Structure 1
Amino acid sequence: MDIRSEVVSVLDEVLSLKGRATAFSLDTPLLGALPELDSMAVVALITNLEERFGFCVDDDEIDGSVFASLASLIDFVHRKLGS
């Protein structure tokens, strides 16, 4: 499984970016840079990542740094899959 492309797919789907997420680089900022990524979208994104990858996210694991960039979000998924 290519985690990066799966995360990009979830981002694109949840935020209704209509394919824009496929152009994101690892350095692309997310939270604060994408108007679509509001607090409700964060909840939907977490839920979709849990379903897609089969892990569970505790409330205390989530802060703004997870959603700082595409790279930080991918790193978070890697850590969850490794634990």
Structure 2
Amino acid sequence: MQNDTDDLLRAVLTDVLGLKPGQAAGFTAQTGLFGALPELDSMAVANLLAEIEDRMGITIDDEDVDGDLLADYGSLLGFVAARREAA
């Protein structure tokens, strides 16, 4: 499921943020997100999280959302993967 989650998350980031084709494919666990990607501003965060919930079939609570969650790709992927496994 981890690989499936990784592929889905890269697709969501590309679709919601309007990233260039293949841009998300190059993300590593250390790739910065919030504050590093100009496309991921405070307005885009809500849309991104809503789309992750819809496509992944998970719920993201307000208390889950902090600076660490969107700090880098690895943090976001780890969170989403854990939620999918628990669902």
Q: Same fold (TM over 0.5)?
A: yes
Q: Does 1:51 align with 2:54?
A: yes
Q: Which amino acid is the alignment partner of residue 79 of structure 2?
A: F
Q: Which residue of 2 aligns with 1:11?
A: 13
- 1:7-43 C-alpha deviation (Å, 9 max, x unpaired): 1110111110022111111211111101110111110
Partner of 2:66: 63
Gaps in structure 1 of 5+ consecutive residues: none
RMSD: 1.1
Between the aligned residues of both structures, percent identity stands at 43
Secondary structure of the residue aligned to 2:69 is helix
Flag structure 2 segments of 5+ consecutive residues without an equivalent. none
Are 1:35 and 2:35 matched, yes or no?
no
Structure-1-length-normalised TM-score: 0.92
Please name the residue that 1:82 is paired with: 85
Q: TM-score, normalised by structure 2?
A: 0.88
- Structure 1 runs of 4+ with >6 Å offset: none
Q: Distance in 1 between matches of 2:49 and 2:26?
A: 21
In the alignment, the residues of structure 2 paired with residue 78 and residue 3 of structure 1 have an alpha-carbon distance, to the nearest angstrom, of 6
